[in-house]
Chains A and B, each alone.
Chain A
């Protein structure tokens, strides 16, 4: 393995700060189990440590290892013996070889999340290859055609939950568009001492197994005193009648999870160092199996400069929500000689990951007050039209889904539907729109008749885009929270064609039974691929009929989030779709092959919320 350290500013800084810094006792104790980038502030990190891998050839070894989580030791499945795995630092334009050796007793795989690569290098067993058998090595070889912050993880079974994930940074050929003095990776993840198999089994047997924030009697009585008996009772009975739970925000919660920042539990307090006045780049990676985080640094404004590895026009925020598999790069500039808490509260408020930015190791800042878990509302789930004004109501008739949308689309039916959209949807868009564009789904769309079958619990009666909303629990913070409409690419991407057709997929599931699917069908019931014509520009529309947020990930191609940014649509590999939301992305189908498309909540994916997309040159069209 060759590790070529070039002398970029950021690394010089990193190395220089290693000098004269006392090690934290606890860090020493766990030093062997953590990758070196985690220990940036300690003497444990040595130059040339295997925990940061660079160069054109990289060797990874997947095995079982003991890891220290808080005060306990667990057995994880690790990459090169650490949790998270080593930081892989690649260079745009290189052709790289990554040799992955399996030292587990079961098949494994590594998927390079967000990377554009040949389909057989994508690392999804059953879609791109057959997986990596025990005691064998698979060599991934591909050219690096992009730059930014990414990550990599196992795509086999529940290994991602068990620890098989790590950060991946690609340095650009061109100079970075933003200036910064320090560069830290902040890997957020979730750890359980239970086996993921038993977590999944628990959810199948009792789907609210991990929810210890339900509305119990004390909350009922306080609601009665606040709202009056009638309205309170009416509200509780309404949810009971629907057989749903308004406190359902996370399938797996802090009851079993320890929330980790760079592999460290909150009390272990991962620390990144700075000198006052320096610009610090924090590369947040949500390497979580099941957890959405709300991230803030009280006292500091974050300037988001990159989303999912793609540079965006800088936007200053106090807080952002990051879903499983998303990444955000932010710049902070602490000016005071004091510690700042990096606080990543889970969306369901059942726990948090935490770290510190500080001028010296061992410093801490107060933790912000924990916020109460929010409540879902029927309106937010598209059940009621109470929240909509009459103007919206008038438009409803013109935006009904046709019954076709709702059928099991296969073969000719799907084509028929696509053609239908060719004619009618695209004509709505004003021609020559450049700077701003209409956001698809801005007018609520009534769900077509039908409910996607027995495996789907409910449908969103009305769905609409909510890209300018921060999401549940973040609406009343009184601070500036990142929303998807804030994201504008730094430069326009080459393909500015309007999508030529639309494929609509509904996010479906059954919380009570813990079934998850698209269009009411699990992957095993719908193995036929979704067809993208090679070279076409198409619109992929996601309609969330469930009452949970889902981070949807498309492999192999970028999703250009249609958020009204005109020529500056941001590119994402993972897009959060809120309950009852309708989100459209534009895709340039430039990557022939078979690709995975799935919900990145690990247990949802394994339950069947997964499809294969096939890009094929059947009817080649001109590429821009």
Chain B
């Protein structure tokens, strides 16, 4: 059964990548220059002159016929605009310290949620990493990283597919698993940044995650960001502190001040809660499944 799932999933990813490759050819490239030029030559005469043969002092310029060599010359002309340039982006949306404010089994925790992309307007390679020492969900450290291929679709969304590696460490033991990812990321109506994703582990376990954020401008530089993240799973995976059903949610409010757009220290509070089966597992491992934490951190990008 698991093998069957894995097989289906890898087929899906492969077909998506192929579809994407094809569509990118259709979407982002046009007919090769050579073909175009040939076509033009047949339909109407070129008027571009080769360098060095120009004589316009008299105000007359010669129209080239099909015998000229503008094709080869045009080939080494640069593009008039740079609309195919790639750009790169790195964002640490959450990079914070969560001091111990007392309570049973509390620690000084930390958390990060970073992402980045490199690419053009339509196709991008994405990198995402979340990491935490969060006693409300996973009793110890939890670090996961994703490498995704993203395709811009439907005006607001990046369709993403790729892989994820999750490492958990607790009581001195490390567990690691690989997961396949299919997700969306984009701006939904009412300006919420939404990131739904589904994951399938190497053992065929299915899980899902939804992240939503919104920026509320209190002033031009003081911005309140409500943030919501929740995880759910179909199978119980005890090794990864994951119960069946809704696992947990984080509801946070972070107030940042944009000293520059790229650099914004923040303070906030975060409600972290695990549910049901997951909550039991967290308790077994010495965590506290329901906490309200004060956070302090910095949001930065470049």
Instruction: Report A's interface with B, CB cutoff 8 A.
Output: 95, 97, 107, 117-121, 124-131, 141-143, 145, 155, 157, 201-202, 204-206, 209, 212-218, 237, 240-243, 451, 454-457, 510, 512-513, 515, 522-529, 531, 592-594, 596, 598, 605-608, 610, 612, 614-618
Stretch of B76-84, B163-171, B246-254, B269-277 lying at the A interface: B76-84
Whether the Cβ atoms of B82 and A454 lie closer than 8 Å is no
Whether the Cβ atoms of B190 and A240 lie closer than 8 Å is yes
Q: A243-B189, A457-B155 are in contact. Are A124 and B48 (CB under 8 A)?
A: no
**Binary interface profile of B, 17-38, with partner A (CB < 8 Å = 1, else 0)?**
0000000000111110100100
When distances are taken between beta carbons in the complex, the residues of chain B under 8 Å from A97 are 57
Within 8 Å of chain A (Cβ to Cβ): is B220?
Answer: yes
Within 8 Å of chain A (Cβ to Cβ): is B3?
Answer: no
Q: A130-B51, A243-B189, A528-B36 are in contact. Are A454 and B44 (CB under 8 A)?
A: no
Determine which residue in B77, B78, B121, B191 has the highest number of CB atoms from chain A within 10 A of its CB, and name it. Answer: B121
Whether the Cβ atoms of A204 and B87 lie closer than 8 Å is yes
Whether the Cβ atoms of B83 and A607 lie closer than 8 Å is yes
Whether the Cβ atoms of B44 and A243 lie closer than 8 Å is no
The residue in chain B whose Cβ has the minimal distance to the Cβ of A244 is B191
CA distance A209 to B264 in the complex (A): 13
Q: List 7 A-B contacts (CB under 8 A).
A: A126-B79, A145-B59, A155-B80, A451-B155, A523-B81, A525-B27, A617-B44
Within 8 Å of chain A (Cβ to Cβ): is B67?
Answer: no
Chain A nearest CB: distance from B114 CB in Å? 14
**Binary interface profile of B, 146-177, with partner A (CB < 8 Å = 1, else 0)?**
00000011111000000000000000000000
Within 8 Å of chain A (Cβ to Cβ): is B15?
Answer: no
Whether the Cβ atoms of A237 and B190 lie closer than 8 Å is yes
Chain A nearest CB: distance from B82 CB in Å? 5
Q: A141-B57, A512-B156, A617-B44 are in contact. Are A524 and B84 (CB under 8 A)?
A: yes
Whether the Cβ atoms of A205 and B301 lie closer than 8 Å is yes
When distances are taken between beta carbons in the complex, the residues of chain A under 8 Å from B154 are 454
CA distance A526 to B29 in the complex (A): 8
Within 8 Å of chain A (Cβ to Cβ): is B49?
Answer: yes
When distances are taken between beta carbons in the complex, the residues of chain B under 8 Å from A130 are 51, 73, 76-78
The residue in chain B whose Cβ has the minimal distance to the Cβ of A138 is B51
Whether the Cβ atoms of B76 and A608 lie closer than 8 Å is no
Chain B nearest CB: distance from A455 CB in Å? 7
CA distance A129 to B70 in the complex (A): 10
When distances are taken between beta carbons in the complex, the residues of chain A under 8 Å from B77 are 125-126, 129-131
Q: A241-B190, A243-B187 are in contact. Are A126 and B78 (CB under 8 A)?
A: yes
When distances are taken between beta carbons in the complex, the residues of chain B under 8 Å from A456 are 155
**Binary interface profile of B, 104-145, with partner A (CB < 8 Å = 1, else 0)?**
000000000000000001100000000000000000000000
Whether the Cβ atoms of B81 and A605 lie closer than 8 Å is yes
Whether the Cβ atoms of B153 and A454 lie closer than 8 Å is yes
Other A-B contacts than A129-B77, A214-B220, A526-B30, 19 sampled, CB-CB below 8 A, are A130-B51, A131-B78, A141-B54, A143-B56, A143-B58, A212-B220, A216-B218, A216-B219, A217-B219, A454-B152, A522-B83, A525-B28, A594-B47, A596-B80, A608-B81, A614-B40, A615-B47, A616-B44, A616-B45
Determine which residue in A127, A522, A618 has the highest number of CB atoms from chain B within 10 A of its CB, and name it. Answer: A522
When distances are taken between beta carbons in the complex, the residues of chain A under 8 Å from B121 are 455, 513, 515, 522
Whether the Cβ atoms of B56 and A524 lie closer than 8 Å is no
Whether the Cβ atoms of B217 and A142 lie closer than 8 Å is no
Whether the Cβ atoms of B47 and A527 lie closer than 8 Å is no
Whether the Cβ atoms of B155 and A454 lie closer than 8 Å is yes
When distances are taken between beta carbons in the complex, the residues of chain B under 8 Å from A206 are 261, 301
CA distance A157 to B45 in the complex (A): 29
Chain A nearest CB: distance from B92 CB in Å? 13
Q: Pick the contact of A214: B36, B56, B217 (CB < 8 A).
A: B217
CA distance A204 to B36 in the complex (A): 30
Chain B nearest CB: distance from A606 CB in Å? 5
Q: Pick the contact of B29: A125, A525, A606, A608 (CB < 8 A).
A: A525
The residue in chain B whose Cβ has the minimal distance to the Cβ of A208 is B261
Within 8 Å of chain A (Cβ to Cβ): is B284?
Answer: no
Q: Chain B: interface residue count, which band?
A: 35 or more
CA distance A95 to B30 in the complex (A): 39
The residue in chain A whose Cβ has the minimal distance to the Cβ of B76 is A130
CA distance A212 to B222 in the complex (A): 11
The residue in chain A whose Cβ has the minimal distance to the Cβ of B55 is A141
Whether the Cβ atoms of A616 and B76 lie closer than 8 Å is no
Whether the Cβ atoms of A524 and B79 lie closer than 8 Å is yes
Q: A141-B54, A512-B187 are in contact. Are A205 and B155 (CB under 8 A)?
A: no
When distances are taken between beta carbons in the complex, the residues of chain A under 8 Å from B76 are 130
CA distance A531 to B36 in the complex (A): 14
When distances are taken between beta carbons in the complex, the residues of chain A under 8 Å from B155 are 451, 454, 456-457, 510
Q: A120-B54, A142-B59 are in contact. Are A201 and B80 (CB under 8 A)?
A: no
Q: Ordered nearest first, which 9 A-B pairs have the shortest CB separation?
A: A608-B83, A616-B44, A143-B59, A126-B80, A618-B44, A593-B47, A216-B217, A118-B61, A522-B83
When distances are taken between beta carbons in the complex, the residues of chain B under 8 Å from A526 are 30
When distances are taken between beta carbons in the complex, the residues of chain B under 8 Å from A141 are 54, 56-57
Whether the Cβ atoms of B156 and A524 lie closer than 8 Å is no
The residue in chain B whose Cβ has the minimal distance to the Cβ of A204 is B87
When distances are taken between beta carbons in the complex, the residues of chain B under 8 Å from A218 are 219
B178-219 with Cβ < 8 A to chain A: 187, 189-191, 216-219
The residue in chain B whose Cβ has the minimal distance to the Cβ of A203 is B87
The residue in chain A whose Cβ has the minimal distance to the Cβ of B91 is A205
The residue in chain A whose Cβ has the minimal distance to the Cβ of B188 is A243
Chain B nearest CB: distance from A386 CB in Å? 21
CA distance A127 to B73 in the complex (A): 11
The residue in chain A whose Cβ has the minimal distance to the Cβ of B224 is A217
Chain A nearest CB: distance from B58 CB in Å? 8
Q: Pick the contact of A618: B43, B80, B81, B122 (CB < 8 A).
A: B43
CA distance A451 to B155 in the complex (A): 10
Q: Pick the contact of A157: B49, B82, B261 (CB < 8 A).
A: B82
Chain B nearest CB: distance from A296 CB in Å? 27
CA distance A423 to B169 in the complex (A): 75
When distances are taken between beta carbons in the complex, the residues of chain A under 8 Å from B33 are 527
Whether the Cβ atoms of B57 and A610 lie closer than 8 Å is no
**Binary interface profile of B, 221-247, with partner A (CB < 8 Å = 1, else 0)?**
100000000000000000000000000
Whether the Cβ atoms of B47 and A119 lie closer than 8 Å is yes
Q: Pick the contact of B63: A126, A142, A617 (CB < 8 A).
A: A617
Q: A124-B80, A212-B220, A240-B191 are in contact. Are A119 and B48 (CB under 8 A)?
A: yes
Chain A nearest CB: distance from B22 CB in Å? 15
Chain B nearest CB: distance from A136 CB in Å? 11
B277-302 with Cβ < 8 A to chain A: 301
When distances are taken between beta carbons in the complex, the residues of chain B under 8 Å from A95 are 57-59
When distances are taken between beta carbons in the complex, the residues of chain A under 8 Å from B27 are 525
Chain B nearest CB: distance from A59 CB in Å? 17
Chain B nearest CB: distance from A556 CB in Å? 11
CA distance A224 to B65 in the complex (A): 68
When distances are taken between beta carbons in the complex, the residues of chain B under 8 Å from A598 are 81
The residue in chain B whose Cβ has the minimal distance to the Cβ of A608 is B83
The residue in chain B whose Cβ has the minimal distance to the Cβ of A96 is B57
When distances are taken between beta carbons in the complex, the residues of chain B under 8 Å from A125 are 77-78, 80
The residue in chain A whose Cβ has the minimal distance to the Cβ of B49 is A120
Q: A126-B80, A142-B59, A522-B121 are in contact. Are A527 and B30 (CB under 8 A)?
A: yes
Q: A118-B56, A142-B59 are in contact. Are A610 and B80 (CB under 8 A)?
A: yes
When distances are taken between beta carbons in the complex, the residues of chain A under 8 Å from B61 are 118-120
Q: A214-B220, A513-B121, A616-B47 are in contact. Are A107 and B81 (CB under 8 A)?
A: no
